[in-house]
Amino acid sequence: MSFVEIQDVHKSFYGKEILKGINLTIEKGEVIVILGPSGSGKTTFLRCLNTLEKADCGQITIDHVTKDFAVHDPKNTRDLILKTAMVFQGHALFPNMTVLQNVIEGLVRVKKMPRDAAMKLGLLTLSEVGLADRVSYYPAQLSGGQQQRAGIARAMAMQPELLLFDEPTSALDPELVGEVLAAMKKLAQAGHTMIVVTHEMQFAYEVADRVLYMEGGVVVESGTPAALFNQPQDIRTQKFLARLSGQDFSESAVVTL
């Protein structure tokens, strides 16, 4: 049995089906990158995995914790939440706490870790993302890249089995993207299991073990980065990649006044 098994996730909003049955199995230490146009359901899929969005049906198993999304069971839901951690688009740090307080909040309140042990782990995690000298700053006093790295540290400190990244760089200024991607690459190389929704093709190419292309609520195609980028099989994948690389403008609408 695989480390993470996701079966048949369905989700509708207001009668419109956004996810039409997603299946995914992930091995321990694998890095999955999900690509797709906006509205393809990739963010919704990610949010369903840690129950930020309640999926209509489907099931997930992470490291022997199984959660059936259709069943209401708060204890089970909590077990699942603690197996995952999420990094959001736009940092989502708590502005009323310092960086260190942000990182240890979950450890102290949720995992009931003693404060000094939590501080130790928090400081260690923050130094891993290069923020050792910013621990007592408030989020508003940091740059966008630093905020996002602190967000990664907060997720990491919870020691999850599965890390979820929801477009972690798309709200950043271009010159700040690199430092965040570097921090994520370091996590991938350290053997963490990750699902990353992103538009950073270079990152996908270098770091992903497998790339999924989603469109219209289904996984259209998946494969190694080399296979998917160089020989996309499905016409939709081909068109998407062509639009991104600018090779084919036949699909894009011409602006007329």
Partner 1 sequence: MTFDFGFILQVVLKIIPYVPVTLYMAVVSLIIGGALGLLVALARFYQVPGLSQVMTVMITVLKGVPLVLVFLVIFLITSQNFNNVAKMLGLHLQYGDLPMSLLAIIGLSLMAMVGLSEAFRGAFESVKLVQFDAARSLGMTTGQTIRRVLVPQAFPVAFPMIVNMLINLIKGTAIASLVSVVEIFSAATQAASSNYKYFEAYIAAAIIYWAMTILIERGAHWVELQLAKKMERAIS
Q: Which residues bind partner 1 (CB under 8 A)?
A: 47, 50-52, 78, 81-82, 84-86, 88, 90, 92-96, 105-106, 109-111, 138-141, 154-155, 158
Q: How far is the CB of 153 from partner 1 (least distance, A)?
A: 12
Q: How far is the CB of 140 from partner 1 (least distance, A)?
A: 4
Residues paired with residue 20 on neighbouring β-strands, in sequence order? 10
Q: How far is the CB of 36 from partner 1 (least distance, A)?
A: 21
Q: How far is the CB of 7 from partner 1 (least distance, A)?
A: 22
Residue closer to partner 1 (CB basis): 39 or 95: 95
106 to each of 73, 86, 148, 159, how far by Cα in Å? 21, 13, 17, 11
Residue closer to partner 1 (CB basis): 11 or 154: 154
Q: How far is the CB of 235 from partner 1 (least distance, A)?
A: 35
| Gap between the terminal Cα atoms of the chain | 57
Q: How far apart are CA 26 and CA 5, in angstroms?
A: 7
Interior/surface letters 225-236, b for 16+ CB within 10 angstroms, e for the rest: beebbeebeeeb
Residue closer to partner 1 (CB basis): 63 or 206: 63
Residue closer to partner 1 (CB basis): 157 or 219: 157
Residue closer to partner 1 (CB basis): 92 or 218: 92
* CA neighbor of 168 nearest in space, from 140, 125, 201, 199: 199
Residue closer to partner 1 (CB basis): 163 or 241: 163
132 to each of 35, 60, 120, 137, 199, how far by Cα in Å? 33, 36, 12, 11, 29
Residue closer to partner 1 (CB basis): 92 or 182: 92
Structure tokens at 84: 């995952």
Q: How far is the CB of 155 from partner 1 (least distance, A)?
A: 8
Q: How far is the CB of 251 from partner 1 (least distance, A)?
A: 33
